[in-house]
Amino acid sequence: MSKQKNPVEVLLNEKPFILLDGALATELERHGSNLADPLWSARVLVEEPEQIHRVHADYFRIGADCAITSSYQASLQGFEQRGIETGAAIELIKQTVYLAQRARQEVVGAGAKALIAGSVGPYGAYLADGSEYVGHYGVDDATLENFHRPRIEALIAAGADLLAFETIPSLQEAAVLLRILEEFPEQSAWLAFSLRDAEHISEGTTIADCVAAVGQYPQLAALGANCFPASITTDFVTGLKRLTDVPIIVYPNSGEQYDPVEKTWSGESVCTAFDEVASEWYAAGARLIGGCCRTTPEQIERIHAAIERT
């Protein structure tokens, strides 16, 4: 099959930056969904799918150029633990794409250039113990491949415009994901690591070593990070820009700290300052910009307005 055009490249040829959406799971909580479940937002997919559609639509209404599907924690293994057999689990993963597509159709309309990115969360998200922020799983490549491949296949089959490899804490897992992607040469993906600080991913590998190892994959649509403190975004983007010409993607958290054991948030949100700092991220070189945990449509709209003013 011939390779399709990279949808990120196509969109960036038409506009200066791509506005991503913000939090899905914590936005679902804000609307009353209970996420105290190992499946996290995938629980809502099973029991309250229209809530997911509602959140996607909210982001499209404020001008988001890309919706990230609710498949971050959706895996065959996780669904199996809830008594959902393989065939039904695959259909649920596909449903994450269909819900986002329907919201796009209803809000933006036919022929919309807004993208649907199929979320592929890390193996640690399935473990539901916070290890997506550590990365030391103690498993081999084959285990990771067998875990990730069915979800990737389902997202592609459902028509996701590209894949979002997100909150990836280790270079091993990033390399495995990109090798699987090579089996689908017509597809593109972005790769967003989770970070220890502005110069290291969660497991401790330097950003420079990560770029050297995986930054040249031809199917890589964007490279960056998500689910990290907004306070280090400018430093991270500045450093990454020195290392790569691949479009840089960032979607940080609100600034609050997550306790993966207690599953609670604490600390102060800096989202009210996103409109002050988002233009700095753009000036430093970020071209796909949004928010992760605890960010809202209103805050994403402020990011949009701030960058538009630059």
Give per-residue pLDDT as tens, 190-231. Answer: 999 999 999 999 999 999 999 999 999 999 999 999 999 999
What number does CATH give the domain 7-308? 3.20.20.330
Q: Where are the alpha helices (DSSP H) in the chain?
A: 7-12, 25-30, 41-47, 49-61, 76-81, 86-107, 123-127, 141-157, 171-181, 207-214, 233-241, 274-284, 297-308
Give per-residue pLDDT as tens, 43-58. Answer: 788 888 999 999 999 9
Query: Residue 70, SS3?
Result: coil
Q: What is the largest CA-CA distance in the chain?
A: 51
Provide the residue ranges of all domains of the chain, joining segments of one domain with +: 7-308
What pLDDT was estimated at residue 2? 45
Q: How far apart are CA 261 and CA 274, in angstroms?
A: 28
Tell me the CB-side half-sphere exposure of residue 132, using CA atoms within 13 A. Answer: 26
Give per-residue pLDDT as tens, 128-167. Answer: 788 888 888 999 999 999 999 999 999 999 999 999 999 9
Give per-residue pLDDT as tens, 46-99. Answer: 888 999 999 999 999 999 999 999 999 899 999 998 899 999 999 999 999 999
Q: How far apart are CA 234 and CA 249, in angstroms?
A: 12
Integer angstrom CA distances of residue 193 from 8, 109, 172, 245: 18, 32, 12, 17
Pick from 135, 131, 287, 151: which is nearest to 200 by CA?
A: 135
Radius of gyration of the chain (CA): 17
195-197 and 200-201 strand pairing:
antiparallel
257-259 and 264-266 strand pairing:
antiparallel
Q: How far apart are CA 42 and CA 205, in angstroms?
A: 30
Report the binding-site residues for Zn(2+): 227, 292-293
Report the binding-site residues: 227, 292-293
What pLDDT was estimated at residue 1? 41
